[in-house]
Structure 1
Amino acid sequence: MTGGLYVYAVVAGKPAELGTGIDGAALEVVAGPGDLAAVVHRHAAGPYEGADDDVRRWVVEHSDVVERVWESTGAVLPMSFNVIVAEGEETPARSRLEGWLTAGGRLLRERLDALENRVELRVEIGLDQHRVAERHPDVVAMREDLETRPPGVRRLLGKRLDQLEREVTDALADDLYQQYRRRLAAVSEELSENRSARPGEGVVPVLTVSLLVPRDAIPAVGQELAAVQDEEPAAVIRYLGPWPPYSFADVPGLAGPTPT
């Protein structure tokens, strides 16, 4: 095998059906110690770069490979898009990848065992600021006052009203954050936060998390979110997955393959 290697995932055992990867590239496995293996395709070029539509397609094709090997083997350590092991001047890419698998073999195996038959779920909880604010006496009073004012004043007060609604909802979101986080942690094995998530217009974020959950425990997460919705009608909940455990695939203390 010559040239670089594009790496999709690390698995335990060879998947039953490898199929093809990005742009129809033939998939292969590079064996590590024991039954560890990396799913790859030969890739002599640099990182995948191009028009937005092309990049989106490549990312989807990458994800499709990860999902196939995940379903086939029951556990996977997914690589992010564009992880490429370059051909070295003295060391072939295959040897570099085999060395990485060998050096991290114990940690990789332990992490794969921990992720077996586990899925990632993404949960986003926010609050509709209008529904929250309509319960607050200061907001109710300002809205009533707004109706009696001339159009020019209404525009000015409307901005103040929106700011007050936001402040009221921010305060409630702060109060609910720890409670919701504890409840979701209780129905998952691991929890990873994404503080950079951006909710829709008029929605104040409470928390966005990825949960690592056994497959047979997925219904418990849905039940907990249904309870949150019943308790707080202003809650805006998005519940996505199940996915391969992208957010939980890191192996502490182990560097990934060297990208080109």
Structure 2
Amino acid sequence: MKRIREIIERIVRQEIRSALADSEDIVKEAVKTSLLPELRAATRDAISRVVEDMLKESPEVEETPPLSASITPQESAGIQETELVAPPEAEISASSEVGARPKKDSDGKYLYCVAEGSERISLGKIGIEGNEVYTIPYKDLCAVVHNCPAQPYKSEDNEVVKSWIMAHQKVVDIAWEKFGTVLPLGFDTIIQGNEDTDPDENMKNWLREDYESLKEKMEKVRGKEEYGVQVFWDPKVIAHKIVQRNEEIQKLEKEMKSKPKGAAYMYKQKLERAIKKEMEAKADQYFKDFYN
């Protein structure tokens, strides 16, 4: 009965992965139609805030009525680095414990990536905290791992966490240089054993069960490199650059400062509209350039 359940679960997982792969275009279209308009709206609200704050700095001009803005400015947008491979089912869940990891015997495998290779070889002590990194092969694929306790890496020290993440990426880079093509896993993917099998066997079982899917992904990323990209939009910086580079806006600003308060109020409204228009155009341009 247990074996039948495992087979059914494996079939369901494979069907879900296949459905997600087939829906890639649908997901992309959903991002365009749903997410991007929301980001544009948030950016416009941020622009209103910044323009108002910037123009308040001029003491000669009475303040305009506050502009409505209910969304906190989006400080950054970009493509988050994602896993190319779904982790094996035997991955441990995140622990709530915080602190140093106690040294234990090998009861888990920390998984960096999957590469092309048919031999069990050592890459040296290049892993997180100086652990020896080696491969677990199945046919012409191999998992790049190190031995570890079956519990996640957790620390309150940001520098420690940063060093772990950098070490993880370094191993993936070295594996890429050695094997040519790799499928990276996310930081802190740890495989544990169960009652019937040890972590090594669980890793091989996963490679065997997902072999065809992994091979397809290998072909898809062959000859390509993965980059994490973040685009930072600081409305205040953009607004000041527009004022500095746009002659018409500079002219409006000078005229506003030379007028009495009553007339300056009207010029301030003109200046607000001009800056907002330029910033919205710039934001739309960036969205199109970066997303497409």
Q: TM-score range by the shorter chain?
A: 0.5 to 0.7
Are 2:275 and 1:165 aligned? Answer: yes
Q: In structure 2, do the counterparts of structure 1 residues 71 and 158 end up closer, same or farther at CA, with 3 Å as the change threshold?
A: farther
Q: In structure 2, do the counterparts of structure 1 residues 8 and 145 end up closer, same or farther at CA, with 3 Å as the change threshold?
A: same
Shift of 1:123: 7.5
Q: Which residue of 2 aligns with 1:143?
A: 253
Q: Which residue of 2 aligns with 1:98?
A: 204
- What secondary structure is seen at the aligned counterpart in 1 of 2:188? coil
Are 2:159 and 1:53 aligned? Answer: yes
Q: Which residue of 1 aligns with 2:144?
A: 39
Q: In structure 2, do the counterparts of structure 1 residues 40 and 163 end up closer, same or farther at CA, with 3 Å as the change threshold?
A: farther
How many equivalent pairs are there? 179
- What secondary structure is seen at the aligned counterpart in 2 of 1:88? coil
Structure 2 unaligned runs (5+)?
1-104
Quick one: which of 207, 210, 214 aligns to 1:108? 214
| Aligned partners of 1:75 and 1:116 also within 8 Å | yes
TM-score under structure 1 length normalisation? 0.57
| Aligned partners of 2:110 and 2:190 also within 8 Å | yes
Structure 1 unaligned runs (5+)?
181-206, 210-260
CA distance in 2, matches of 1:79, 1:117: 18
What is the aligned-residue RMSD (CA, Å)? 3.6
Q: In structure 2, do the counterparts of structure 1 residues 90 and 2 end up closer, same or farther at CA, with 3 Å as the change threshold?
A: farther
Choose 1 or 2 for highest CA Rg.
Answer: 2
Q: In structure 2, do the counterparts of structure 1 residues 84 and 162 end up closer, same or farther at CA, with 3 Å as the change threshold?
A: farther
Amino acid at match of 2:153: Y
Deviation per CA, 1:188-207: give whole Å up to 9, x if none: xxxxxxxxxxxxxxxxxxx3
Q: In structure 2, do the counterparts of structure 1 residues 136 and 100 end up closer, same or farther at CA, with 3 Å as the change threshold?
A: farther
Shift of 1:10: 0.3
Q: Which residue of 2 aligns with 1:89?
A: 195
Larger helix proportion of the pair: 2
CA distance in 2, matches of 1:57, 1:124: 23
CA distance in 1, matches of 2:286, 2:208: 45
Deviation per CA, 1:86-145: give whole Å up to 9, x if none: 2223332222221111111112112112322322354848694444454374x3453123
| Aligned partners of 2:239 and 2:279 also within 8 Å | yes
CA distance in 1, matches of 2:142, 2:226: 22
- What secondary structure is seen at the aligned counterpart in 2 of 1:9? strand
Percent identity, aligned pairs only? Answer: 25
| Aligned partners of 1:12 and 1:109 also within 8 Å | no
- What secondary structure is seen at the aligned counterpart in 1 of 2:107? coil
Amino acid at match of 1:41: H
Larger strand proportion of the pair: 1
| Aligned partners of 1:123 and 1:208 also within 8 Å | no
Q: In structure 2, do the counterparts of structure 1 residues 3 and 74 end up closer, same or farther at CA, with 3 Å as the change threshold?
A: same
Amino acid at match of 1:28: Y
TM-score under structure 2 length normalisation? 0.51
CA distance in 1, matches of 2:170, 2:269: 46
The equivalences for 1:127-206 within 5 A come to 128-133=238-243, 134-135=245-246, 137=248, 139-148=249-258, 165-175=275-285, 177-178=287-288, 180=289
| Aligned partners of 2:108 and 2:199 also within 8 Å | yes
- What secondary structure is seen at the aligned counterpart in 1 of 2:161? helix
